[in-house]
A and B are shown apart, each in its own frame.
Chain A
Amino acid sequence: MERAYYFAFVEGDFVVLPLHVLIISSIVKILIIAHLLIIGVMAMIWSERRVSGWMQDRLGPNRVGFQGILQPIADGIKFLFKEDLIPNHVDKPLYVLAPAMLLVPAMITIAVVPFGSSLTIFGHEIPLQIADISIGILYILAITSLGVYGVVLGAWASNNKYSLLGGLRSSAQMISYELTLGLAIIGVLMLTVVEPGESALSLRKIAESQGKALWNWNFLIHFPAFLAFTTAMFAETNRLPFDLAEAEQELVAGYHTEYSSMKFALFFMAEYMNMIVGSAVTVTLFLGGWHFFGLENVGGPVWSGLISFGIIFVKTAIFLFVFIWVRWTLPRFRYDQLMNFGWKFLLPVALTSIVVTGILWVTTQSRLLVGIGNVVAAFIVVSIVAGLLVMNKTPEPATPELSGLDAIE
């Protein structure tokens, strides 16, 4: 019966810890990771503004502290001391609840993501992961799908047409891209090596099975699925080029138009937290987790754990840089383009990767062939879809004569 207290560790992992060690180490890990996330958000806000400035050939904030590194703290203080305005026309309970409903899912997803191999302290081998549950991937998908409530309820409770439009757009977008997000992972799960009785859905197992060599990293074996997953993740986090929920030109600020002070800051923090967690998940699933050419095995049991944490940290940081990079590289999609892209290209690619990975793995047992087959199949599917779209395209209606004010524009 005692199993039930700490099944999270006994089941997914071979490490069995005494109860008090488990509780203390878990609390320490939760504290460290929660604070790391918040510090990460601040670092992301600073680097987004500085990198954006750099990409646009301007400086960005560089006054507060060295190179403006204390700017997020100044912003935070400003948010805290601003008047917490609640407009009269809002639905008050939901209006107050919505930012938290977005922030909490963003924060608790990190619980199942491994942030390193393991540390040996006082003779106990402590896995660097808050909870290694046997359904890790499903947990992430479940919690991510709850993030949409914060957006939708905030939008509805604001009682503002721009907010509502933003919220509806965002929920439609999230539902559409969630499918791709889930299906793209299945190929990875199929090739994850597990002992009988273990679960291939545990993120630790997925990271460990990529450890042997570089060509075991999943993004090489499942390249189309990796691209589909990354694209879907950009859509899930509402980042450019998919940030239609808050398209400034059309919707003022989208679902958080009516929010001010710390409540607005919570929306903002949730977006960056989603990005950080999403990057960490992608690194674990596709980019080898804490493995980097055997560097993670250097040093003793303590040093190798710390180095593995450093590797996953750097990988996540590089991926986060890609987020900012893409933001200033690609223009925003139109809404119908977004839906067409999600349903007609990404979803077929994700589905093909499942079929091809399954068939080739059963028949050949070769990761190389699976990798090549995936790329070829995805290429064929995309060509077919594109060909069908071109053939079915109705001739565009002739542009009507411009008159009046339209002609001036």
Chain B
Amino acid sequence: MNAEQILFIVFGGISLVGAVSVISFRHPIYSALALIVTFFAQAGLFVLLGAHFVAAAQVIVYAGAIMVLFLFVIMLLNLGTLSASGSIVGKLKGVAIVLGLLLAAEGIYIAVNALNETAVASAQPTAAPVTTYQIGELLFSKYLLPFEVTSLILLAALIGVIVLVKRDGPDTD
């Protein structure tokens, strides 16, 4: 077992424990924190794959920005401890089980397929880490259209928020 495998087990383990904690904590703040831990461990996994930029983006965007907003909302709404019976989760238990089983089946299928291909993959050396330059080049050539469409969607969301907030007319500043 080399260092890479040990690190994979560490990060993978942390991300699993974090993911389970997200749904098992009773308090939404603790759940949000567990989600941050999961994101962090996933960033570690990305580093192991040589995708340094994706790892940094994961931490900046998800752990750094989106989760702060989550915490913000939880605190502003002052959400207390949730109980499983009263919430919508309790009523949709059947749907949740079916969807969960589907996802698990998918995961097992992919894992079994991957196991068959491991022999081929492990013979090849690890790919060189992808540089930011290469990512930028790809974004502005091969993936230009999806990139621009994404930015348009974000722009639409931005305008939508402003319209919603400014609904009462310009004189309510």
A and B: real partners? yes
Chain A positions within 8 Å of B, measured between CB atoms, are 1, 3-5, 7, 11, 91, 94, 133-135, 138-139, 141-143, 145-146, 148-149, 152-153, 156, 164, 167-168, 171-172, 174-175, 178, 197, 199-201, 394
Q: Enumerate chain A residues within 8 angstroms of B125, measured Cβ to Cβ.
A: 1
Do residues A1 and B2 form an inter-chain contact, with CB atoms below 8 A? yes
Do residues A156 and B60 form an inter-chain contact, with CB atoms below 8 A? no
Smallest CB-CB separation from A93: which chain B residue? B30
CA distance A152 to B71 in the complex (A): 8
Do residues A197 and B131 form an inter-chain contact, with CB atoms below 8 A? yes
Do residues B132 and A135 form an inter-chain contact, with CB atoms below 8 A? yes
Which of B50-58, B84-92, B108-116 lies at the interface with chain A? Answer: B50-58
B63 within 8 A of partner (CB): yes
Q: How close is A140's CB to chain B, nearest CB, in angstroms? A: 10
Contact of A5 among B3, B55, B69 (CB under 8 A): B3
Do residues B72 and A168 form an inter-chain contact, with CB atoms below 8 A? yes
- The majority secondary structure among interface residues of chain B is helix
Do residues A171 and B4 form an inter-chain contact, with CB atoms below 8 A? no
Interface string of B58-69 (1 = CB under 8 A from A): 011001110011
Q: What band does the interface of chain B fall in when counting residues whose beta carbon is under 8 Å from A?
A: 20 to 34
**A135 and B3 in contact (CB under 8 A), knowing A156-B75, A171-B68?**
no
Q: How close is A123's CB to chain B, nearest CB, in angstroms? A: 27
Interface string of B111-145 (1 = CB under 8 A from A): 00000000000000110010111000000000000
Q: Enumerate chain A residues within 8 angstroms of B4, measured Cβ to Cβ.
A: 1, 4
Do residues B60 and A149 form an inter-chain contact, with CB atoms below 8 A? no
Do residues B63 and A146 form an inter-chain contact, with CB atoms below 8 A? yes
With a 10 A CB-CB cut-off, give which of B55, B59, B173 has the most chain A CB atoms.
B59
Q: How close is A233's CB to chain B, nearest CB, in angstroms? A: 16
Do residues A394 and B171 form an inter-chain contact, with CB atoms below 8 A? yes
Q: How close is A100's CB to chain B, nearest CB, in angstroms? A: 13
Chain B positions within 8 Å of A, measured between CB atoms, are 2-4, 29, 33, 36, 48, 52-53, 55-57, 59-60, 63-65, 68-69, 71-72, 75-76, 125-126, 129, 131-133, 171, 173
Smallest CB-CB separation from A141: which chain B residue? B60
Do residues B53 and A135 form an inter-chain contact, with CB atoms below 8 A? yes
Q: Enumerate chain A residues within 8 angstroms of B126, measured Cβ to Cβ.
A: 1, 3-4
Q: How close is B75's CB to chain A, nearest CB, in angstroms? A: 5
Contact of B131 among A3, A134, A171 (CB under 8 A): A134
Do residues B64 and A146 form an inter-chain contact, with CB atoms below 8 A? yes
Q: Enumerate chain B residues within 8 angstroms of A1, measured Cβ to Cβ.
A: 2, 4, 125-126
Do residues A145 and B64 form an inter-chain contact, with CB atoms below 8 A? yes
Contact of A135 among B29, B36, B56, B71 (CB under 8 A): B56
Q: Enumerate chain A residues within 8 angstroms of B63, measured Cβ to Cβ.
A: 142, 145-146
Smallest CB-CB separation from A393: which chain B residue? B173
Do residues B65 and A11 form an inter-chain contact, with CB atoms below 8 A? no
Contact of B3 among A4, A133, A145 (CB under 8 A): A4
Q: How close is B4's CB to chain A, nearest CB, in angstroms? A: 5
With a 10 A CB-CB cut-off, give which of B29, B33, B55, B64 has the most chain A CB atoms.
B64
Smallest CB-CB separation from A146: which chain B residue? B64
Q: Enumerate chain A residues within 8 angstroms of B129, measured Cβ to Cβ.
A: 7, 11, 134
Q: Which 9 A-B pairs have the closest CB atoms?
A: A145-B64, A138-B56, A142-B59, A142-B60, A135-B52, A135-B56, A142-B56, A4-B4, A199-B131
What 8 additional pairs, Cβ within 8 angstroms, besides A138-B53, A141-B64, A168-B76?
A5-B3, A146-B63, A152-B72, A153-B29, A156-B71, A167-B75, A172-B72, A175-B68
